Amino acid sequence: MPTLVAEESQITNIFSASGFKGKKLVTTLSSEATISDIIQSIIKTKPSEIDSPFSVLDLRVVIDLMNKWTMNLPTVKPFYAVKCNPNISLLGALASLGANFDCASPVEIESVLSLGVSPDRIIYANPCKSESHIKYAASVGVNVTTFDSVGEVEKIKMWHPNCELVLRIKPEEDSGARFSLGLKFGALRNEVPELLKAADDAGLKVTGVSFHIGSAGASTQAYRGAILLAKTVFETASNLGMPKMKILNIGGGFTPGSKFDEASLNINEAIKSYFENEEDLVVIGEPGTYFAETAFTLATKVIGKRVRDELREYWIDDGIYGTLSTVVYDYFIVTCSTLRFGSKPDEVTYKDTKTYPSTVFGPTCDSTDTVLKEYSLPELEMNDWLVFSNMGAYTSSLGTNFNGFSSSAKNVYIACSSLSYGAENKS
């Protein structure tokens, strides 16, 4: 039976072991407190300290997701994809919960190492790196990286000859993902022998195979075909007389919910079918959205209003150039609720039966900075709040300072079972 995280006792260990700095107690809440309760408490009790917009990172969600990963994929080690959300508090929590890390740049590596994480818990999962970045990885002891070209072999041989290689391959099946990472990375089947031989001739050790089926809407059946293709690469290396491979990296594309259950079933069955006789096999995954998406909630303040007949137009202090960048993708489903401090300060949660078609703009001067169109909202006033759920994946990491406006990335409050901490994200 997999070992699960103890929700109550582990919280203290997360904060004491993760290198968190500058944290302060914001409020004490029961374990049943909702994110809405937490946000209301923050706004009510610390109005002079609130720098809107802000986000809440719910560690209870992260712990539950880690427990589910351990239950569903007990043989797969999670290497969190830092690019999805590099919030230092999230990284620290995941490190304390036993996660490893998929980094794609020196900045990401440095963030993880700053938490006291050992470099052997990092895979440099970028198949194309500049020479200076390879030298940096060598200098800090990150000794496993991906490749998919002869040119990359030559660079690694020159600047990091002790580095172990993982060959990135391109899945042959179309997974239906909205973001097909195979357009940029991954060796074709007929390129595999040449790449393996090039690495072997260079005196570099190829220790495994990686792939990525794509993100957003990928069919979980695609894991089966990709794992079978990875098995053929293991066999090709063996036929070439190369040292036995040990790493199977199944990449990312994971989302929380029922699709994760479906993906887990396909992955477990494929590994059992195709790698049953592989002793000492190490299977790793690179979840990003899985851990980050549902753990963050964004709170934004209404800073402007205009009425045109039945249409209500509002301005908020975050937008598509900030944390809300994902709303420009038609697949992203916006989940929005209201906290009406401005209109009814003593009755935050009261409900109106009447709603109005509403447009919500971000704070910049670009008219494309539009968050919601024809969205039904109750009558709002200045200093009311809009709260957006599931705002952790590719949100703050894609935010900009366009027009001089920053996102909520620097204002993150950390919530856990009985305590809520406020902190500024230094990542």
The domain locations on the chain are 22-58+295-423, 59-292
Q: How many residues does the chain have?
A: 427
* Residue 365, pLDDT above cutoff 70: yes
* Residue 10, pLDDT above cutoff 60: no
Instruction: Report, as an integer, the average pLDDT of 191-212.
Output: 97
Q: Taking the model in full, what pTM does it have? A: 0.90
* Residue 303, pLDDT above cutoff 80: yes
Identical fold, 22-58+295-423 and 59-292: no
State yes or no: is 365 an active-site residue.
yes
* Cβ neighbours of residue 413 closer than 8 Å, sequence gap 6 or more: 26, 38, 42, 54, 55, 56, 57, 420, 421, 422, 423
Alpha-helical regions (H) of 215-336? 222-239, 258-275, 289-292
CA distance 198 to 149: 9
Confidence of residue 7 (pLDDT cuts 50, 70, 90): very low
- pLDDT for 399 equals 85
Q: φ and ψ at 223, to 5 degrees? A: -60, -35
User: Hey, which residues does 423 pair with through a beta bridge?
Assistant: 412
- pLDDT for 221 equals 80
Strands 412-415 and 419-423: antiparallel
* Residue 120, pLDDT above cutoff 90: yes
Confidence of residue 178 (pLDDT cuts 50, 70, 90): low
DSSP characters over 91-104: HHHHHHTT-EEEE-
At the second CATH level, the architecture of 59-292 is Alpha-Beta Barrel (3.20)
- Structure tokens of 262? 């479906």
Catalytic annotation, pick one of 84, 103, 336, 365: 365
* Residue 184, pLDDT above cutoff 70: yes
Instruction: Report, as an integer, the average pLDDT of 227-251.
Output: 96
CATH superfamily of 22-58+295-423: Lyase, Ornithine Decarboxylase; Chain A, domain 1 (2.40.37.10)
Instruction: Report, as an integer, the average pLDDT of 353-358.
Output: 88
- pLDDT for 31 equals 63
* Residue 60, pLDDT above cutoff 50: yes
In the chain the first and final C-alpha atoms are separated, in Å, by 36
Instruction: Report, as an integer, the average pLDDT of 305-333.
Output: 88
- pLDDT for 78 equals 98
pLDDT winner (highest mean) among 112-121, 208-217, 393-402: 112-121
Reference 77, options 98, 96, 108, 104; nearest CA is 98
